[in-house]
């Protein structure tokens, strides 16, 4: 009987310690949202990405999935507003081209994306999202 009592007391201590540790850890991204850019239209010409992003609350930990025909488009992560507005892909900008690219929004701030294929960004294939904590 004594061993059962010790086991139960030990189990209770483990539960209390686990609860204390869990309470001291930073919040996880359990509430993260995965967004498919452009919804069913995907990442393509003719989509109003400003309208798509409007009203969405992007948070650190969320992801953006860019779906498109491989070889028809790309996704360039642009870091400055000037390049974004001018539709210029800086030489060192991260460029994704698999046709199924996921970007983890791992920090707060304004995230900027363009397609660098000739004329695509100029015709509206660009996306800006504000990411908050």
Q: Enumerate domains of the chain plus CATH numbers.
A: 33-129 (2.60.40.420)
Cβ–Cβ under 8 Å, residues 43 and 67: yes
What would the pLDDT profile of 4-61 be if each residue is shown by its tens digit? Answer: 333 334 333 333 334 443 444 444 445 899 999 999 999 999 999 999 999 999 999 9
Cβ–Cβ under 8 Å, residues 129 and 111: yes
Give the global pTM.
0.78
What would the pLDDT profile of 77-123 be if each residue is shown by its tens digit? Answer: 999 999 999 999 999 999 999 999 999 999 999 999 999 999 999 99
Paired strand residues for 90: none
Q: Please state, in angstroms and rounded to a whole number, the distance separating the CA atoms of residues 11 and 51.
A: 53
Q: Please state, in angstroms and rounded to a whole number, the distance separating the CA atoms of residues 59 and 129.
A: 10
């Amino acid at each position: 009987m004594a061993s059962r009592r010790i086991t139960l007391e030990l189990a209770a201590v483990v539960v209390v310690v686990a609860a204390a540790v869990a309470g001291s850890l930073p919040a996880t991204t359990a509430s993260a949202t995965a967004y498919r850019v452009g919804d069913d239209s995907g990442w393509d010409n003719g989509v109003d990405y400003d309208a798509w992003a409007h009203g969405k609350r992007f948070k650190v930990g969320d992801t953006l999935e860019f779906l498109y025909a491989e070889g028809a488009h790309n996704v360039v992560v642009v870091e400055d507003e000037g390049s974004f507005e001018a539709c210029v892909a800086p030489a060192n900008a991260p460029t994704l081209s698999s046709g199924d690219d996921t970007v983890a929004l791992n920090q707060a701030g304004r995230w900027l994306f363009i397609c660098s294929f000739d004329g695509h960004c100029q015709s509206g294939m660009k996306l800006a999202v504000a990411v908050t904590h």
